[in-house]
Amino acid sequence: MNRAKFVLMLVSAAIQFALPMSHQALAQSLAPGDPSTIGKTFLTSENGRRVQISDFRGKVVFITFWGNWCPPCIDEMNSVRDLQAALKDRRDAVAFVFISARTQAFPDDIDWLKRHGIAGEAYQWEPRFPEQRYAFFGALPDQPAFSVPTTYVLDRNGGVVETATAPVDWQARLHTFLNLLSDRPAEPLFLY
């Protein structure tokens, strides 16, 4: 074996060995639900406007990763609509953020929300940086899948108050939103 092939094999082996270590280091340096990382996430609206999740500070934020192709997501949307109706007097103090889990489904997701009377804005999440993916889903870059619906509720300061990785009856959690909208401070809570 000539020297060039040997060096190439060594470099290739080093890269393969280093990649899992970098994912492990990423996992050790971050925590799922990290509010700083979540706040730095950029989203793009249907009209091309880019926002950061931190732009919603000052409001209670309901963030859900979903898709109109997902039966559990559709089932959950009825309770989201009921929650919005129950919050009608406080709706301006809550940002409802709907993030399409599949980029190619974004136009259909927008249409579905409008046809079913769900208030809020639909967004795309691109690019999906590894640290943001880990903060939202606990998924490393080599783990391609994440579950939907996945929902976060943030307090007015951007702290994670509630997380759900399965369908939830959000109308039944109206008290959580009313507490967050009151002057009483909320204790951050992580539910996985």
What angle is formed at CA 96 by the lines to CA 90 and CA 101, rounded to 5 degrees? Answer: 170
The C-alpha atoms of residue 62 and residue 108 are separated, in whole angstroms, by 21
**Top-level class of domain 31-181:** alpha beta
Per-domain residue ranges of the chain: 1-29, 31-181
Q: What is the pTM of this model?
A: 0.75
Query: pLDDT tens digits for the chain (192 residues)?
Result: 566 544 444 434 443 444 443 444 444 445 556 667 777 888 899 999 999 888 999 999 999 989 999 999 999 999 999 999 999 889 899 999 999 988 899 999 999 999 999 999 999 887 666 666 666 666 555 555 667 898 989 999 988 888 888 999 999 999 999 999 996 555 544 433
Q: Is 140 in contact with 130 (CB distance < 8 Å)?
A: yes
Q: Are the beta carbons of 182 and 191 closer than 8 angstroms?
A: no
Tokens 């409001």 belong to which residue? Answer: 59
